[in-house]
């Protein structure tokens, strides 16, 4: 098994008329993902990248029984794209778009508070269940099917860690990039709950960074409820205070959200923390 996506996921790409949408649509199909349609109000064609193209999500869902969407729509229109996907019952929505307004994400979180729909992102690389399906911009060739779950706030750090895991023959069940914005669609805890219920996942790598308190919350959840080994890495130990580092959510303010505080919370919860990404493989092997 895997979490959230597999070879049966029926995917639509919103924003498929744009350059980024078309490029990654082709890469997902090349990987073997079941992309059933492209959606974009700008379409004046019935095909894109060799698959059906529609101006609305409604048409794509009705014609192809889609259950998953990935959004490459520009930030000012991302909220409307998510709303359209929600209105038509898609169970998983991944927002790749960077720069989505915080107020829009607050509204999206409210809309999905009592919904069964899972939102990943925004400002994220998406997710991949190696050998089954790729949903987003992760480089598929560095992944290997296996039993290690990966959750990360950082896209490039995810790739670095995954490549190290693959070289060590430590395959992955699913890798999820939740994004680094202040209001993510899914938190570490949301994804950990999925991994806790997945029989394929035997251990998890959690990649965090400075800013916010999601890592501390995850540490508490892991200590109290998570049943599988976890290895972690926290980026940003040398970041100056009060300065945003890379992601909008990666800012230390008022002494909160420091790398040191997150590392200590994880250690206190019995979680092994790597000092550099290259240590993760050894920590897993010596669990």
Q: Which residues are catalytic?
A: 247
Do 31 and 9 contact (CB within 8 A), yes or no? no
Indicate the SS3 state at residue 98: coil
Do 57 and 98 contact (CB within 8 A), yes or no? no
Q: How far is CA 149 from CA 51, 171, 198, 205, in A?
A: 31, 9, 10, 6
- The contacts of residue 212 (CB under 8 Å, 6+ apart) are 182, 249, 257
Euclidean distance between CA atoms 210 and 143, whole angstroms: 26
Of 91, 64, 71, 83, nearest in space to 14 by CA: 71
């Amino acid at each position: 098994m895997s979490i959230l996506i597999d070879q049966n996921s029926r995917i639509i790409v919103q924003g498929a008329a744009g350059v980024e949408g078309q490029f990654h649509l082709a890469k997902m199909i090349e990987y073997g993902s079941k992309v059933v349609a492209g959606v974009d109000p700008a379409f004046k064609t019935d095909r894109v990248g060799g698959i059906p193209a529609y101006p609305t999500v409604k048409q794509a869902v009705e014609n192809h029984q889609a259950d998953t969407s990935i959004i490459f729509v520009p930030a000012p229109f991302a909220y409307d794209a998510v709303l359209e996907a929600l209105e038509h019952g898609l169970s998983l929505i991944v927002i790749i778009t960077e720069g989505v307004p915080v107020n829009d994400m607050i509204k999206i979180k409210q809309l999905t508070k009592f919904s069964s729909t899972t939102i990943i992102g925004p400002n994220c690389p998406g997710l991949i269940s190696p050998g089954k399906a790729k949903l987003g911009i992760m480089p598929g060739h560095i992944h290997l099917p296996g039993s290690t779950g990966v959750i990360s706030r950082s896209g490039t750090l995810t790739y670095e860690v995954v490549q190290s895991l693959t070289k060590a023959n430590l395959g992955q069940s699913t890798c999820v990039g939740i994004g680094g914005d202040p209001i993510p669609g899914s938190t570490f805890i949301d994804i950990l709950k999925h991994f806790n219920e997945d029989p394929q996942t035997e251990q998890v790598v959690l990649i965090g960074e400075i800013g916010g308190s999601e890592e501390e919350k995850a540490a508490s959840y892991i200590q109290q409820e998570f049943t599988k080994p976890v290895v972690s890495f926290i980026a940003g130990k040398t970041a100056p205070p009060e300065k945003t580092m890379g992601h909008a959510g990666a800012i230390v303010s008022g002494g909160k959200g420091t790398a040191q505080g997150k590392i200590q919370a994880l250690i206190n919860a019995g979680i092994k923390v790597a000092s550099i990404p290259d240590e993760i493989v050894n920590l897993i092997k010596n669990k």
